[in-house]
Amino acid sequence: MSIDRQAIVAAIARLNAAAQRDFEMLNDADGALGDGDLGITLSRGMELIAEITDDLPDDLGKTLLQCAQAFTKSSGSSYGTLMATGLMAMAKALKGEISIAPDRVSELTALARDAMQARGKADLGGKTVLDSLDAVAQATAGQNDEAAVAKAASQAVDDALDAFRNTQATIGRARMFGEKTIGMDDPGMLAMRTIVKALAG
Amino acid sequence: MSIDRQAIVAAIARLNAAAQRDFEMLNDADGALGDGDLGITLSRGMELIAEITDDLPDDLGKTLLQCAQAFTKSSGSSYGTLMATGLMAMAKALKGEISIAPDRVSELTALARDAMQARGKADLGGKTVLDSLDAVAQATAGQNDEAAVAKAASQAVDDALDAFRNTQATIGRARMFGEKTIGMDDPGMLAMRTIVKALAG
Amino acid sequence: MKKLLNEPVDYVDETLAGLTAAHPEYYRLYGDTGRVVARATETAEGKVGIVTGGGSGHLPVFTGYVGKGLLDACAIGDVFASPSAEQMADALRVADRGAGVLRLYGNYGGDVMNFDMAGDLVDFEDIQCTTVLLADDVASASLEEREKRRGVAGMVYAFKTAGAAAEAGQDLTAVTAVAQKTADACRSIGVALGPCTVPQAGKPTFTIADDEMEIGMGIHGEPGMRRGKLLPADDIANEMMDRLLEDQALSSGDRVSVMVNSLGATPPEELYILYRTVQARLEATGASIFMPLVGRYATSMEMSGVSFTVCKLDDELEALLQAPCDCAFWRVG
Amino acid sequence: MKKLLNEPVDYVDETLAGLTAAHPEYYRLYGDTGRVVARATETAEGKVGIVTGGGSGHLPVFTGYVGKGLLDACAIGDVFASPSAEQMADALRVADRGAGVLRLYGNYGGDVMNFDMAGDLVDFEDIQCTTVLLADDVASASLEEREKRRGVAGMVYAFKTAGAAAEAGQDLTAVTAVAQKTADACRSIGVALGPCTVPQAGKPTFTIADDEMEIGMGIHGEPGMRRGKLLPADDIANEMMDRLLEDQALSSGDRVSVMVNSLGATPPEELYILYRTVQARLEATGASIFMPLVGRYATSMEMSGVSFTVCKLDDELEALLQAPCDCAFWRVG
Ligand SMILES: Nc1ncnc2c1ncn2[C@@H]1O[C@H](COP(=O)(O)OP(=O)(O)O)[C@@H](O)[C@H]1O
Ligand SMILES: Nc1ncnc2c1ncn2[C@@H]1O[C@H](COP(=O)(O)OP(=O)(O)O)[C@@H](O)[C@H]1O
Ligand SMILES: [Mg+2]
Ligand SMILES: [Mg+2]
Ligand SMILES: [Mg+2]
Ligand SMILES: [Mg+2]
């Protein structure tokens, strides 16, 4: 099976539902280490994407570009901008394609990760959404079966949370909390778990 | 005996001592019903007058005018301005005279009272220094013996306090306290008692 | 008391020292007590002088408004206390250029006594004085007893129009008439949310619960019309506008200027939120708004709250309002 | 939370509605989200645009400084939150008159990400962009890590000089160079005495004891250099000037402008008390002071405290600083 417009439309419905479901959880997690708006940012962004689902073109590049724009509109919070950045990077790579195989997931995730890293001027290992993406890119490398990719990605976001839980945040608002962040999950990594699990279906 | 420069110089010494003695009492009384500066105003005014005692001329009018000016310099608080106003009114009446008999006290006090009333745009009966002066003017009317004048004036300031203690203040800052003023002495009347008793010797 | 100061007793003198040091092109100190602020440069012989005065703690009122097209001099007392008659007399002296001086200030007992006394003092020096009192606070007495009202932010309009008239060379009678017309045309009301602290007193001027406001409170914490639960901004603005429009009706074709003034701590963001309703209420009467003033024009240090002033205009006042003026806190033209 | 507002969620939109209603001669809203403030009238074709942006709650920063000789447009977020990249892109679009746009704003992570993204968005539309970041807060990182510092009141100087250069017809490279030179010449430090409340958060940004101050605290309540007992004003001013002069030495013949800025609730009286010491310390280095700014130039709503900014001048910056500018909050010339 391959990833096309129809698969994306179906995924958007799952993403939107998951974002609304985790609204409070993400706001609370961000409230503990930041300004408490991450649930709002994610759900609002997904809502805006859901609104344009019917008009999405077959060209996957254009489709992802429109999804990116929805995120740039939603708010000025970091996560929305990073998501838009990642989506735009993938959009550029997919320009003109209407269907791709699951073995491209790793490469595309890595592209998003790198673009977001450049945008946020942050290193890997800082306990951010970048570390979740990095884990996904690595875990899905070399896989070309859709179910295997989904399973690996899903496992990777959990593993990333476990791996970073007891480290100290050094980036974004959470940095100001210093040692207090040890033992706490990064809100952006939690949000990426929500996203990846919804995509995995 | 008559009132001349020498008598005034002696009175100033007594006034200054009395003002310093009652400093706290007058501040406290004013603090309960106003801004708590009446002790400062009176003592500072008397100090400034004491400083110029040596240079006071024989002309009683000029002497009282200089005393008045000392009060206008001391501060902008009402009592200082009222004192200066009363002294200026007496000064005008005494221009050119170098000695007066005690029977002029009533008339001069009434002059001060009227000028101060005009300055403060307040009626008699409002529980202010005006009521003390009015009591003194009436009690000393027709008296021409110095001891009798002193005794009558001294008694009058006490009587005025008694008469107004259980009335409500309607003028100046005390007015804002409304019924709370019933049972309390007006600070300006207390200050006039300090002054009159010191003058009476 | 949480303030940036040294000894409380030096608060006013150090404020004036800083003010004149920062803006020597606008202000200088005059007289031996250091409590008279005059324009940096002498005005021309024959110009009518305008002098104000009152307690410190209200910047830009009073000293701030000394400047071209505004005031000539100001006598300034301790915080919330009248300057002395002698200081006021000094302000009258420096402002007099042979054409007389208008005393233009707020209706407070102590200030009135002292300015009257100051007039007596300079009378000997042949300085002719007139007086116009601002009594614009509708919360402080009924319309029938208008002369008893306190003077608040409306004085800024009178400084502006009288200042422009004097700068234009009008004589003392004419300048006084302009000031009186402006004073008569102004209506103000305040609402307080939090107190300020007089440095030498060391404790807040009043107490108020965290969820309360007091409508009509005076700028020194004088009791207002009603204390109640803090309402939404639009409701407060409507209640205040009700009082103002009750006191001075407006109708189609009228022109007004309106001031939405912070008492100090209240930020401009909140003033603009209120301005929406102020504008809507004024326009609903059919009146048109000219030169609205939104900002900190008359304050009480760090007091929290606002005041509204409506100043009804005619052709003369409108022209004087837009005439040039210049001081460290306000420029027009 | 004691504020004059309606629904917290409407705080920013209602503030902007009031701002543009009160001053239509200066400001207009642009774009569908209502979060871009542009000059009331279009500038001439070929003029370099200057755009800023950031969170609300800092008036006159950011929107207030849109005006002639200053900024062309501003994207404004929720209180203390970045506007979206799309809103910034709209600000860039309205500011572009074919000669490119300078993005001139404070160094905060969210704002940087979004302004970069906004640049990518308008790149498709052939709008050329440059960037200058203000990073003037000496308390937020060491001199070695200067690029990590937060941007605070120093941005007002950069708005002024770059704005004057753009108004004079300089090209994008030149305007950008002026802004960078000004940013490099500015050093700021703050002291906080009391917090403010973000309307939608509903509780104060930080807590601080009644007898404490925090030197170096950021304008959103970011941790400072040291918290301690509230000292006399002169001591605080000296400690702050020590930090500034350590970071940028001054010597005889140098010229500086200095800003003594209230963070909101602190009244001008206290600013002038502080100014005495600021002036004395600067003059003790042999430097001369040009155009000191004392007032509320960059605030955090009702936060209590002050900041000092020293901006070192050369002939070019001095000339640009005194060039005319005009907005509802500041006029020069
Ligand atoms: N510079 C950065 N680089 C990478 N990730 C970042 C960066 N800044 C924030 N994040 C991620 O975004 C999450 C917070 O997102 P969000 O709540 O939108 O931020 P804010 O509200 O502070 O703008 C963090 O938990 C982190 O994972
Ligand atoms: N308008 C007035 N007319 C007559 N007496 C007045 C008037 N105002 C105040 N007083 C008197 O002055 C006293 C207060 O004096 P002072 O403390 O100097 O006033 P303040 O500090 O309020 O200016 C009052 O107790 C009253 O006796
Ligand atoms: Mg957040
Ligand atoms: Mg946020
Ligand atoms: Mg008193
Ligand atoms: Mg007093």
Ligand 2 atom at minimal distance to the Cα of residue B186: 25
For residue D44, how many other CB atoms are within 10 A of its CB? 9
φ, ψ dihedrals at D293, nearest 5°: -115, 115
How far apart are the CA of A94 and the centre of ligand 1, in A?
26
Alpha-helical (H) ranges within A22-143 are 23-33, 38-52, 60-74, 78-94, 105-120, 129-140
Around ion ligand 6, which residues have CB less than 5 A away?
A: B 35, 37, 77; C 81
Q: Is B96 on the interface with C (CB under 8 A)?
A: no
Q: Give the mean model confidence (pLDDT) for residues D269-277.
A: 98
pTM of full prediction above 0.90: yes
CA pair distance B38, B108, nearest whole angstrom = 24
Q: Going from the N-terminus, what domains does chain C have, and what CATH number goes with each? A: 12-184 (3.40.50.10440), 186-321 (3.30.1180.20)
Average the pLDDT over D256-278 and give the result: 98
| Residue recorded with tokens 């595309």 | A108
Mean pLDDT of all residues in A181-200: 96
* Residue C195 Cα to ligand 6 middle (Å): 19
CATH of the domain at B36: 1.25.40.340
D239 half-sphere exposure, CB direction, 13 A CA radius? 18
How close, in Å, is residue B121 to chain C by CA atoms?
9
Would you please indicate which residues of D are annotated as catalytic (active-site) residues? 58, 220
Q: Which of B40, B77, B92, B95 is the best residue to mutate to test the C interface, defined by the most C CB atoms within 10 Å of its own CB?
A: B77
Contact between residue D22 and residue C292 where contact means Cβ atoms under 8 Å apart: yes
Check if C23 is active-site. Answer: no
Q: What is the pLDDT of residue C199?
A: 94
Q: Is the pLDDT of residue A75 over 90?
A: no
Q: Which of C84, C113, C200 to mutate to test the pocket of ligand 2 (most atoms within 8 A of CB)?
A: C113
Name which residue sits closest to atom 17 of ligand 1, judged by CA.
A38
D321-326 mean pLDDT: 98
Q: How far is B178 from chain C (nearest CA, A)?
A: 11
Q: What is the pLDDT of residue A108?
A: 97
**Residue D246, token pair as written in the block:** 């350590």
Q: What is the mean pLDDT of residues B11-35?
A: 94
Mean pLDDT for B119-140 is 96
The predicted pLDDT at position D1 comes to: 67
Residue A76 CA: which ligand 1 atom is closest?
A: 23
Whole-number Å distance between alpha carbons of C13 and C1: 19
CB-CB neighbors (< 8 A) of C202 in chain D: none
Cβ neighbours of residue A83 closer than 8 Å, sequence gap 6 or more: A45, A68, A71
The dihedral built from the CA positions of residue D52, D55, D59 and D64, taken in this order, carries a sign that is: positive
CA of B172 to the centre of ligand 2 (A): 5
**Element of type H or E holding C102:** strand C101-106
Instruction: For residue range B38-73, list pLDDT tens digits in order.
Output: 999 999 999 999 999 999 999 999 999 999 999 988
Tokens matching residue D14: 């209602």
Residues of C in contact with B69 (CB under 8 A): 86
Spatial separation of the C-alpha atoms in residues D306 and D308, rounded to whole Å: 7
C290 to B196, C182, C255, C317, D27: CA distances (angstroms) = 58, 15, 7, 11, 17
- Number of domains present in the structure of chain B: 1
Question: Could you give the CA distance from residue B186 to residue B192 in angstroms, rounded to a whole number?
Answer: 10
Pocket test for ligand 1, best of A46, A77, A129 (most atoms within 8 A of CB): A129
Q: What are phi and psi of C33, to 5 degrees?
A: -85, -5
Min Cα separation B177/chain C (Å)? 10
Contacts of residue B78 in chain C, CB cutoff 8 Å? 82, 109-110, 113
Share of chain D above pLDDT 70, in %: 100
D47/D96 Cα distance (integer angstroms): 8
Residue D325, pLDDT above cutoff 80:
yes
For chain B, first and last CA: distance in Å?
14
Q: Using alpha carbons, list the distances in angstroms from residue B165 to B26, B153, B172.
A: 16, 18, 16
Identify whether the C-beta of residue C80 lies closer than 8 Å to the C-beta of residue C195: no
**Segment (H or E) for B115:** helix B105-120
Domain containing B46 equals 3-200
CA pair distance B132, B199, nearest whole angstrom:
14
Is there a contact between D117 and A119 if contact means CB atoms under 8 Å apart?
yes
Interface residue C120 vs chain B (CB under 8 A): yes
Under a CB-based contact definition with an 8 Å cutoff, are residues C313 and C275 in contact?
Answer: no
Choosing from A40, A85, A128 the residue with most ligand 1 atoms within 8 A of its CB, the one to mutate for a pocket test is: A128
Burial of C303 (0-12, 13-18, 19+ CB in 10 A): buried
Q: Average pLDDT, whole number, for chain B?
A: 94
Nearest to D110 among A77, A84, A176 (CB): A77
Q: How far apart are CA C203 and CA C201, in angstroms?
A: 6
Note whether B149 and B196 are within 8 A (CB). no
Residue with tokens 């009114």: B89
Ligand closest to the CA atom of residue D77: 4
Q: How far C207 CA sits from the closest chain B CA (Å)?
A: 16
Residue D93 has pLDDT above 90, yes or no: yes
Inter-chain touch D114–A88, beta carbons under 8 Å? no
Separation CA C159–CA C97 (nearest Å): 18
Among chain C residues, CA nearest to B45 = C84
Among positive and negative, which fits the CA dihedral C274, C277, C280, C284?
negative
Question: pLDDT (tens digit, 9 = 90+) per residue, D187-225?
Answer: 999 999 999 999 988 889 999 999 999 999 999 998 899
Give the pLDDT confidence score for residue C307 in this predicted structure.
98
User: Shortest CA distance to D105 belongs to which of D79, D128, D82?
Assistant: D82
Indicate the pLDDT class of residue D124, thresholds 50, 70 and 90: confident
**According to the model, what pLDDT value does residue C201 have?**
85
B13 Cβ neighbours under 8 A, 6+ residues apart: B50, B53
Per-residue pLDDT of chain C (333 residues; tens, 9 = 90+): 699 999 999 999 999 999 999 999 999 999 999 999 999 999 999 999 999 999 999 999 999 999 999 999 999 999 999 999 999 999 999 999 999 999 999 999 999 999 999 999 898 899 999 999 999 999 999 999 999 999 999 999 999 999 999 999 999 999 999 999 999 999 999 999 999 999 988 889 999 999 999 999 999 988 899 999 999 999 999 999 999 999 999 999 999 999 999 999 999 999 999 999 999 999 999 999 999 999 999 999 999 999 999 999 999 999 999 999 999 999 999
Catalytic choice (C58, C68, C296, C312): C58
Measured in angstroms, how far is the CA atom of residue D90 from the centroid of ligand 4?
20
Q: Do A84 and D120 touch (CB under 8 A)?
A: no
Residue C58 catalytic?
A: yes
pLDDT at A1: 67
Instruction: Look at residue D55 in the predicted model and tell me its pLDDT.
Output: 97
Rounded to the nearest 5 degrees, what angle is found at the Cα of B100, between the Cα atoms of B99 and B104? 165
Q: Determine if ligand 2 sits within 6 Å of the CB of residue B27.
A: no
User: Which residue CA neighbors atom 17 of ligand 2 most closely?
Assistant: B38
Structure-token pair, residue C286: 């059919």
